[in-house]
Amino acid sequence: MAVISVRMTDDEQAALKTFADFHGVPLSTFLKETLIERMEDEYDIKLAEDALAEDDGTRYTLADMRERYGLKDKVSVA
């Protein structure tokens, strides 16, 4: 397993440790999970931006989709 060193001030370290303690996880776990979550968020944003760039503006109503796929007008819930 790799080890990464991060330089920070004592105040930054204390703030991060307090937050990690609040969530009941070790500081290293908190930092790793936070970094991974940030990476996933940025990836999701990139996918959304790409999808929006390809969007031709076509929209369909629920009625249009029901008609297109031969669905009943009302959905029964058991």
pLDDT in tens, 18-69: 999 999 999 999 999 999 999 999 999 999 999 999 999 999 999 999 999 9
0.85 cut: is pTM over it? Answer: no
pLDDT band at 13 (very low <50, low <70, confident <90, very high): very high
User: In this predicted structure, what is the pLDDT of residue 73?
Assistant: 66
Quote the number of domains for the chain: 1
* Token pair 């249009």: residue: 64
Which residue range is the domain that position 19 belongs to? 12-68
Q: Is residue 76 part of a domain?
A: no
- How many CA atoms are closer than 13 Å to the CA of 11, on its beta-carbon side? 0
Q: Is residue 7 part of a domain?
A: no
Q: Is residue 36 part of a domain?
A: yes
Q: Is residue 4 part of a domain?
A: no
pLDDT band at 74 (very low <50, low <70, confident <90, very high): low
Rounded Cα–Cα distance for residues 77 and 66 (Å): 17
Q: Is residue 1 part of a domain?
A: no
